Chains A and B, each alone.
Chain A
Amino acid sequence: MLSDAMLEPFQLPFVQRALLELLLLAVAAGTLGCWIVLRGLAFPAHGAAAAAFPGLVLADGLGFAATLGGFGAALLFALAVGRLAVRGDEADPREDTLTALVLVAALATGIVLASDVFHAAASVESLLFGSLLAIGPGDVRLAAAAALVALAATRLLGTRWLATGFDARSARALGVRSAIPDTLLLVLVALVAVATLTAVGALLATALLVVPAATTRLISDRIASWQLATVALAAVEGTFGIWLAVELNAPPGATIAVVAGAVFALVALMPRTQAVAA
């Protein structure tokens, strides 16, 4: 049957593991992605993922856990530069420039470290664009942890993130303390960005972190339904992307990114009675 033939790639153990990884990342990135889009953190989230790249190379070269190195670098970036973007009406215009500078510096440093210091140029491609079909159990555990933390943080801190983003100055006047919740949001961005790296790589992390949430934002008018739709869309795009990558023998991370981008374009071009944009 045609359907059996279509499902054949999912019989392969490494594809099944990749699918599990992507479904967990859909929960983590789908939930957090809505806060990233709503709070204007798309570029800093991209920067955090890129900043993780030299951290991964350095950790790998020095012989300690690559994930730890990546998370440390992403966290450093998120807290140093991302905090400029998270302050709502006090957003610092330097944030965009700083993000761009750090992004370039991180990529350049990572490539120099990988090729000239640690002679690990072969792994650069997988660090930048992911290696979804070659992930290990540790990657799946990290994705599961990221999903749990993203869900818990949304439940506990969501109303505060919402109030601060809605009107930061009024939130302060209301007595809403935003410093700790906003810092935790940045920590979470770094954590989920690092969790996505093995799947889609430092350069394509926004395919999971931002693009699905930006797509469903076009058709959602409440946080809860938006997050549910984003998780579902990220899961569908990921599943279809893996299948397509196996069928076409294409890189899975890049294929998922292309699928996500195409879906965004389709939804954006759909006629709507009233446009909703973040």
Chain B
Amino acid sequence: MSALVAADGLAVGYGPSLPVLTGVTFELDRGERIAVLGPNGGGKTTLFRALLGELRPAAGALRASARCASVPQTERSRLDFPVSALDVVLMGTIPTRPWWRRPSRADRAAARSALARVALADLAERTYGELSGGQRQRVLIARALVQQAAVLLLDEPFTGLDATSAARLEELLRELAVEGHGVLIATHDLEHARRWDRVLCVNGRQVAFGEPSSTLTHDVLAATYGGAIVTLPGEDPAAPHHAILPPHHHEH
């Protein structure tokens, strides 16, 4: 089975002589959830932009055999906009039609179907800004689904969510993976990452890629986050927990 996404020695940045991220080699298969860990400015967003085709590789190869769709943080969108959840999902259909065409009945049906898939069919007409953080994140996932994307790129989707909303979102991502989607999730949450299939650690370069048991170690995390990790005492003294100090916001 060919991978949905394959990077081999990938270097990418904002100019040929200024790669933000180098030496990235990984594959994302169908049904797989990969956590992308790294400090802010470490290259997570740059990697996503390369996968979306916004940035060209400066070196190495990047191959995507399926459409990738971005699921940004909900804070990026205008919560005061006069749009419903359905309007937001319909934005995902814009590139599929000529500029002079308005959303068709089929576009609306697809958008409603995507909202139903994320269990928000009842809130289709609700103003986007009135939804909870978890609901807004699911609307943005529906917007990615309506693009027929097999690869979902989520940017810190659990930030600001309460435990119930986070659990519901994690379950949705698990279901989407089971249905054959590949999911890349940029996060700082080690507890979530521990439960997913593989972990890609980056900090200007690829630090590690593999199963959580081999990547979420003190040495790898120290190389990824430097001094921003702390070790917490756990129930098992032989397996202490690590946590990442809250980052200052900075994108790359």
| B141-160 CB contacts (< 8 Å) to partner A | 143, 147
- Report yes or no: B87 in contact with A162, Cβ–Cβ below 8 A: yes
Q: A38-B81, A89-B76 are in contact. Are A173 and B52 (CB under 8 A)?
A: yes
Q: Does A166 contact B (CB under 8 A)?
A: yes
Minimum distance in angstroms from A91 CB to a CB of chain B: 12
Q: Does B88 contact A (CB under 8 A)?
A: yes
- Report yes or no: A223 in contact with B76, Cβ–Cβ below 8 A: no
- Report yes or no: B72 in contact with A170, Cβ–Cβ below 8 A: yes
Which residues from chain B contact A166 at a C-beta distance below 8 Å? Answer: 77-78, 81, 83, 88, 91
- Report yes or no: B83 in contact with A160, Cβ–Cβ below 8 A: no
**B-contacting 9-mer, from A69-77, A79-87, A151-159:** A151-159
Q: Does A120 contact B (CB under 8 A)?
A: no
| A156-194 CB contacts (< 8 Å) to partner B | 156-157, 159-160, 162-163, 165-167, 169-177, 181
Interface string of A237-278 (1 = CB under 8 A from B): 000000000000000000000000000000000000000111
- Report yes or no: A173 in contact with B70, Cβ–Cβ below 8 A: yes
Interface string of B99-122 (1 = CB under 8 A from A): 110110000000000000000000
Q: A162-B91, A221-B127 are in contact. Are A172 and B54 (CB under 8 A)?
A: yes
| B62-92 CB contacts (< 8 Å) to partner A | 69-70, 72, 76-78, 80-84, 87-88, 90-92
- Report yes or no: B99 in contact with A181, Cβ–Cβ below 8 A: yes
Q: A162-B83, A222-B82, A223-B83 are in contact. Are A170 and B100 (CB under 8 A)?
A: no
Which residues from chain A contact B88 at a C-beta distance below 8 Å? Answer: 166
- How far apart sit A277 and B95, CA to CA, in the bound complex (Å)? 29
Minimum distance in angstroms from A179 CB to a CB of chain B: 12
Q: Does B3 contact A (CB under 8 A)?
A: no
A-B pair count, CB < 8 Å, reads 75
- Report yes or no: A170 in contact with B99, Cβ–Cβ below 8 A: no
- How far apart sit A157 and B100, CA to CA, in the bound complex (Å)? 7
Q: Does A226 contact B (CB under 8 A)?
A: yes
- How far apart sit A38 and B92, CA to CA, in the bound complex (Å)? 20
Minimum distance in angstroms from B96 CB to a CB of chain A: 9
Q: Does B94 contact A (CB under 8 A)?
A: yes
Place the interface of chain A in its size category: 20 to 34
- Report yes or no: B95 in contact with A176, Cβ–Cβ below 8 A: yes
Which residues from chain A contact B147 at a C-beta distance below 8 Å? Answer: 174
Q: A162-B91, A174-B92, A174-B147 are in contact. Are A169 and B81 (CB under 8 A)?
A: no
Which residues from chain B contact A172 at a C-beta distance below 8 Å? Answer: 54
Minimum distance in angstroms from A213 CB to a CB of chain B: 11
- Report yes or no: B91 in contact with A163, Cβ–Cβ below 8 A: yes
Which residues from chain B contact A223 at a C-beta distance below 8 Å? Answer: 82-83
- How far apart sit A160 and B127, CA to CA, in the bound complex (Å)? 19
Which residues from chain A contact B80 at a C-beta distance below 8 Å? Answer: 276-278
Which residues from chain B contact A175 at a C-beta distance below 8 Å? Answer: 94-95
Which residues from chain B contact A173 at a C-beta distance below 8 Å? Answer: 49, 52, 54, 69-70, 72
- Report yes or no: A171 in contact with B91, Cβ–Cβ below 8 A: yes
- How far apart sit A156 and B103, CA to CA, in the bound complex (Å)? 11
Minimum distance in angstroms from A206 CB to a CB of chain B: 21
Q: Which residue of A lies closest to B79 (CB)?
A: A166
Q: Which residue of B lies closest to A163 (CB)?
A: B91
- How far apart sit A156 and B99, CA to CA, in the bound complex (Å)? 7
Q: Which residue of B lies closest to A170 (CB)?
A: B72
Q: Does A220 contact B (CB under 8 A)?
A: yes
- Report yes or no: B102 in contact with A155, Cβ–Cβ below 8 A: yes
- How far apart sit A89 and B82, CA to CA, in the bound complex (Å)? 18
Minimum distance in angstroms from A256 CB to a CB of chain B: 26
Minimum distance in angstroms from A212 CB to a CB of chain B: 15
- How far apart sit A72 and B109, CA to CA, in the bound complex (Å)? 44
| Neighbour of B90 across the interface among A159, A217, A276, CB < 8 A | A159
- Report yes or no: B81 in contact with A165, Cβ–Cβ below 8 A: yes
- How far apart sit A162 and B94, CA to CA, in the bound complex (Å)? 11
- How far apart sit A181 and B91, CA to CA, in the bound complex (Å)? 15
Minimum distance in angstroms from B145 CB to a CB of chain A: 13
Which residues from chain A contact B127 at a C-beta distance below 8 Å? Answer: 221
- Report yes or no: A160 in contact with B82, Cβ–Cβ below 8 A: no
Q: A162-B83, A162-B87 are in contact. Are A167 and B102 (CB under 8 A)?
A: no
Q: List 12 A-B contacts (CB under 8 A).
A: A156-B100, A162-B87, A165-B81, A166-B83, A172-B54, A176-B94, A176-B95, A181-B99, A222-B82, A223-B82, A223-B83, A276-B80
12 further interface pairs, Cβ-Cβ under 8 Å (given A159-B102, A166-B78, A217-B82): A160-B94, A162-B87, A165-B78, A166-B81, A173-B70, A174-B95, A174-B143, A175-B95, A177-B99, A220-B82, A222-B83, A222-B84
**5 nearest A-B pairs in the assembled complex, by CB-CB distance:** A175-B95, A173-B70, A163-B91, A167-B77, A170-B72
